[in-house]
Each structure stands twice: as C-alpha cells, then as structure tokens.
Amino acid sequence: MKNVRRKIGKYEVGRTIGEGTFAKVKFAKNTETGESVAIKVMAKRTILKHKMVEQIKREISIMKIVRHPNIVRLHEVLASQSKIYIILEFVMGGELYDKIVQLGKVSENESRRYFQQLIDAVAHCHRKGVYHRDLKPENLLLDDYGILKVSDFGLSALTKKGVGLLHTTCGTPNYVAPEVLSNLGYDGAAADVWSCGVILYVLMAGYLPFQEADLPMLYKRISAAEFVCPFWFSTGAKTLIHKILDPNPKTRIKIEEIRKDPWFRRYYDPVNPREDEEVNLDDVQAVFNDIEDHFVVERSESTEGGPLIMNAFEMITLSQGLNLSPLFDRHQDFVKRQTRFVSRKPARVIISSIEVAAESMGLKIRSRNYKMRLEGVSASKVGQLAVVLEVYEVAPSLFMVDVRKAAGDTLDYHMFYKNLTAKVENIIWKPSEIIPNSSLLRNFTL
C-alpha cells in the first residue's frame, strides 16, 4: 500500500476538510511561507458536464473583488490539465453554526459583535455591487481570534450600476426574504439585510424565528413576518430586529440606517478595508480559457506503508489553537459535521471493523486504500446520507479516524456517527484505560 502526499505548485496538500457534490476542500500549507490555506478542488470534467463554467468564474471573480477583513480571502486560482484549484484563506475556528449549537445561544454582547462584523462585510459587498443571497450561520466562519469571516459566494450575484431587480429564487428557506419567494423580482441588498436579521435572531435566541415542518406553512409565516422575540432580548435588540424583519422591502431598514442604530453602535469598532489593492481577473480568464498553457505541476510524494501520516503541524491546525482536546474529544466535537475518534488497533483492523458495522447498518460501502465512503437513505427517509471516513497515522501505532458528512441532513449524520461509534467501541482507544490518574486525561478524554 502506498502513502501519498501531494503537492500542487508550492502547496503541500494534506487532509480533506470538506466535501460536497462538485468539490472537495483540502487543507494545505504554502511551502514558501509556511502559511495554512484551504484549497477548493474541482474537476474540469465535472464543471463542464454540469455547465458550471460561468457560475464558478463568477464566484471566483466576486471573491477577488470583495476583499475585506471579514470576508474569506481568495489568494489565487490555479489549474492542472484536469482540475481547478481555488486557494483560500484557512479559517481555523469553524462555523458560527457550531458555536450556536455548542452554547445553545450566544450572549447579547457577543451576538452584537458578530452582527457588526457581518454588517460591515455585507455593506462592503453591496458597495462593490455584490449580493450574497445565501447568508446563514453555516456560511459564516470564525478565525482563531473570534473574527467573523463571510464565505461561500456560490449563489451570489454581481450587478452593474443601474441594473434593476434580481429574479433568481435562491438561498436557504429559513433565511430567505419574503420578496425572494414572490417570483416578482427583488432588491439584492434588502434581501441580504433580511438574512442578517434572521442570523442575529438565531445568535441570541438559539433557534430560528421562522420554522415549520412543511414549506408552504414556512413561506406563509415568513411572508407575514410572524415571529416573537424571547423575553431575554433587550428592548434595543427587539426594536432593531423588528425593523430588519419587515416583510415590506421598501420600508425595511437599510444597512446605513442599521449602522446608526443605538443598539448596533454600542462597542462598535468598524474595520476599514484597504481600498488601494488592485484586483486583476486575468488569472481567472487564463484558468478557464487557456488551461493547456497555464497549469501547475501536480506531484505525488509516495512512500510504502499504511495510511497517510498526519504531521504535528496539521494536528495543531486541526485542533483549535494549541489545545488538542478537540482532536480526540467526541463529546465536544459532536455538534460538528466533522467528527473523529482514535484507535490503537492496526489500520487494517480499523477499516474492516468499520466495514462490518456499516454493513450491519445497511449502508453501501466504497473503500480505497485507507479511505471509505458510506452511502444510504437518511433516517428521516428524505434524500441520501453520504459519509466519508479516512484513517490517519498520528503517531506510531496510534491512528485517528476522521469522519465527515459528504451529503444529507446534519442531524441524520450525527445519529449515524453515534450509532457507528457504539458499534465499533471495541476499537476506540480510551486513554483513561492506559494511563489512569494522568493530568493529560483532561485533554485526551474520549
């Protein structure tokens, strides 16, 4: 079996940190600067097959245009003869969604701080003629200093001055503005403001203002703006949220008015982006138009052995800061889409044990080397659940099994993970059984 570590140009590529229908996101390190980056990898064949060339070009161009401290930065775009690589800022702190689930709800002062950063980022986008159209906590990342970063511009629109209403119905139902659902056209700025209001409500309440089991009832509630603020919201917060969640886009509060609001302005320290940076889109055109002439060398560095070895640098960046407990703490990590456990069993035993467990759960298994994809109908019987597992060697005779959702509902994924770990409990290493009474147990408890 071969242990393969790839290089794409000057980037050494490590583990997969995200996976979707059309792309994978890999952790990587710039070998010249030592900087951590995230690389979004897309197959050219897939882009062409699904007629996504213009959409991907637009997403890349928009991310180059909207450079701001509260927006995930796009460093560069590269291509090989078969793939396109979008090199992005690596944001270490995870999604805002995860923080809300972990805490239940976020304090008013902290919610206001995140909301201020969100409004600053969205205002900057609007000044550049960009409307995000899919703002939600899952698309808001936090760096290791707690700074908010807007990500995922895949559904965004880039308009020219004087262009009227947008007409594409898109976004996530619970966060979408009522006028977007009307199919009569909508103002992108007003629609983004509505989504920001829903995010502020979710931060402070810990639940959605509009939530129904079926879409027609949900849309009815959104269109009528039927929601109630919890008793713990301050008067200032309630007043602002009601002005934002106004179902009439013409009377809905605008961003410049939000920034003047007394509740919003408390502790407000606006960040001014550098406006002197030149934005050049030539490399975007080159990647799509002249790919045969503009490509990076993709190399694989292979060694004989078992699973991919995870080095200390990757382990630290996988954890939050220098506290390694999130690497091995299943309970702390349970709210996330990416979960992991540790085993001292041989890698082959780990793989075969997972295969047996997956078969007993009625899942379809595809396995290659020390990576496995499991597929099945979700527990809620709606859509497919797909999970990717990968085994890493983190120390001699110590392996980490990285588990992540590739498709399906997040709650279904967590039910799957709980079931899986119960079935393979015999291979999961519990340090307390090996080194009792150690102070290290606080960081390595499973």
Residues classed as catalytic: 134
Report residue 243 as tokens: 């002005």
DSSP for residue 427? G
SS3 content of the chain, % helix, strand, coil (to 5): 35, 25, 40
- Compute the CA torsion angle 277, 279, 282, 287 (nearest 10 deg): 100
b or e along 192-229 (b: 16 or more beta carbons within 10 Å of the residue's beta carbon)?
Answer: bbbbbbbbbbbbbbeeebbebeeeeebbeebeebebeb
- Compute the CA torsion angle 72, 78, 82, 88 (nearest 10 deg): -20
Helix (H/G/I), strand (E/B), else coil: 430:
coil
DSSP character string of 174-200: GG--GGGGGTS-B-HHHHHHHHHHHHH
C-alpha distances (whole Å) from 28 to each of 10, 67, 270, 310 are 10, 21, 31, 12
- What is the Cα–Cα distance from 364 to 325, expressed in whole angstroms? 32
Outline where DSSP puts E strands in 250-383: 298-304, 308-309, 338-343, 364-368, 371-377
- What is the Cα–Cα distance from 201 to 137, expressed in whole angstroms? 11
- DSSP alpha helix (H) spans, 50-90: 53-65
For residue 190, give the nearest of 228, 247, 261, 120 by alpha carbon: 247
Instruction: For strands 364-368 and 338-343, give the pairing.
Output: unpaired
CA atoms within 13 A on the CB side of 26: 19
